[in-house]
């Protein structure tokens, strides 16, 4: 399984939200790369970087952190507020290996099709963040349509990469909801999983369901999962 340690960024700090709530924010450090070095004496090969303020406000702002990660040779999957084509281009030019897209990708299918034509499916990741079966938009503050409908539409357009987050468990360290992943794990395409991952057993369960990628956030930050135990992270 391909593991992506997550760095959630908000106002100059690495943070974690609980269940997607901006009212339940825990701040950890203003230098996540130093935290990796301190804890693991190495930098990971890949990082899932999300600008939470950008996701909420509609404009990615963590450019210095993205550029620093890229200069150090880290594969960065970056998301949070990418709602203009020029921002997607800037992220790729700044060293991101691919860009994660949610709100506008879901709301504006003509724009989604234009992105596919310009960048191709391997540089773009659809973000389907799910609460009560619906895709949540604008930093998880607005309800979208049924999540499966949203992804199937994008998949049939030509998107192949999809990151799914179970918002109800994100940032809680209570473990996966097997029923949730039995359903969403059957979605077509290359599915990445996040939300509630707390133990190595959760990763084994996802892998057994055929899910090939996972984003680990609070579990690595809290030390509940030792990334040294995850093959291929360093």
Indicate whether 180 belongs to any domain.
yes
Smallest Cα–Cα separation from 50: which of 26, 90, 81?
Answer: 81
In the chain, % of residues over pLDDT 90: 86
CATH code at position 174: 3.20.20.70
Indicate whether 19 belongs to any domain.
yes
Predicted pLDDT at 19: 78
Indicate whether 98 belongs to any domain.
yes
Predicted pLDDT at 86: 97
* Tally of domains in the chain: 1
Smallest Cα–Cα separation from 20: which of 66, 52, 44?
Answer: 52
Indicate whether 100 belongs to any domain.
yes
Cβ atoms 52, 80 nearer than 8 A: yes
Indicate whether 136 belongs to any domain.
yes
Predicted pLDDT at 184: 93
Is the model's pLDDT at 9 over the cut of 90? yes
Predicted pLDDT at 18: 80
Token code pair at residue 188: 């077509």
For residue 46, the enclosing domain spans 2-229
Indicate whether 234 belongs to any domain.
no
In angstroms, the CA 135 to CA 130 distance is: 5
Task: Give catalytic residue positions.
Answer: 8, 129
Write the CB contacts of 2 (distance below 8 Å, at least 6 apart in sequence): 46, 212, 213, 214, 232
Average pLDDT of the chain, as a whole number: 94
Neighbours of 217 (CB within 10 A): 27
**Which of the four pLDDT bands, split at 50, 70 and 90, describes residue 23?**
confident
Render pLDDT for 114-163 as a digit per residue (tens, 0 to 9).
Answer: 999 999 999 999 999 999 999 988 877 788 889 999 999 999 999 999 99
Neighbours of 177 (CB within 10 A): 15
Cβ atoms 60, 80 nearer than 8 A: yes
Is the model's pLDDT at 222 over the cut of 80? yes
Question: HEC profile for the chain?
Answer: CEEEEEEEEECCEEEEEECCEEEEEEEEECCHHHHHHHHHCCCCCEEEEEEHHHHHHCCCCCHHHHHHHHHCCCEEEEECCCCCHHHHHHHHHCCCCEEEECHHHHHCHHHHHHHHHHHCHHHEEEEEEEECCEEEECCCCEEEEEHHHHHHHHHHHCCCEEEEEEHHHCCCCCCCCHHHHHHHCCCCCEEEEECCCCCHHHHHHHHHCCCCEEEECHHHHCCCCCHHHCCCCC
């Amino acid at each position: 399984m391909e593991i992506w340690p997550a760095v959630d960024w908000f106002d100059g700090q690495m943070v974690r939200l609980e269940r997607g709530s901006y009212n339940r924010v825990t701040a950890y450090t203003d230098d996540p790369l130093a935290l990796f070095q301190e804890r693991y004496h190495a930098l990971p090969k890949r990082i899932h970087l999300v600008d939470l303020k950008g996701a909420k406000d509609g404009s990615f702002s963590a450019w210095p952190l993205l550029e620093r990660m890229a200069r150090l040779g880290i594969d960065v999957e970056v998301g949070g507020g990418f709602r203009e084509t020029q921002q997607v281009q800037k992220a790729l030019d700044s060293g991101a290996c691919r860009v994660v897209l949610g709100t506008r990708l879901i709301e504006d299918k003509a724009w989604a099709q234009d992105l596919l034509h310009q960048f191709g499916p391997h540089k773009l990741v659809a973000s389907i963040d799910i609460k009560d079966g619906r895709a949540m938009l604008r930093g998880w503050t607005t309800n979208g349509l049924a999540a499966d409908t949203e992804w199937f539409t994008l998949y049939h357009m030509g998107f192949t990469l999809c990151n799914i987050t179970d918002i109800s468990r994100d940032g809680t360290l209570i473990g996966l909801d097997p029923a949730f992943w039995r359903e969403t794990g059957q979605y077509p395409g290359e599915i990445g999983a996040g939300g509630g991952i707390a133990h190595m057993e959760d990763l084994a369960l996802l892998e057994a369901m055929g899910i090939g990628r996972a984003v680990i956030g609070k579990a690595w930050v809290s030390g509940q999962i030792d990334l040294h135990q995850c093959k291929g992270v360093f």
